[in-house]
Amino acid sequence: MNLPNLITFSRLLGVPFLLYGLYNPTVQSRWICVAIFVVAAATDWLDGYLARKLNQITDLGKFLDPLVDKLLVLAPLLVLIELGKVPAWGVFLILGRELTIAGWRVNKTTISGANIWGKLKTVSQIVAIALLIAPLSDAWNIPALIAFWVSVALTLISGAIYLWPSKVADEK
CATH of the domain at 17: 1.20.120.1760
CA distance linking residue 154 with residue 150, whole number of Å = 6
- pLDDT category of residue 71 using cuts at 50, 70 and 90: very high
Helices and strands (DSSP H and E) totals, the chain: 7, 0
Asked if residue 74 is part of any domain, the answer here is yes
Gap between the terminal Cα atoms of the chain: 39
Q: Residues near 11 by Cβ (< 8 Å), separated by ≥ 6?
A: 40, 43, 44, 47, 68, 72
Average pLDDT of 109-133? Answer: 84
- pLDDT category of residue 167 using cuts at 50, 70 and 90: low
At residue 1, the pLDDT reads 83
* Cβ–Cβ < 8 Å for 136, 144: yes
Asked if residue 79 is part of any domain, the answer here is yes
CA distance linking residue 66 with residue 71, whole number of Å = 9
Asked if residue 155 is part of any domain, the answer here is yes
Asked if residue 46 is part of any domain, the answer here is yes
* Res. 80: pLDDT tops 60: yes
Domain interval for residue 59? 3-163
Asked if residue 85 is part of any domain, the answer here is yes
Asked if residue 132 is part of any domain, the answer here is yes
Model confidence, pTM: 0.85
The total number of structural domains that make up the chain: 1
Asked if residue 11 is part of any domain, the answer here is yes
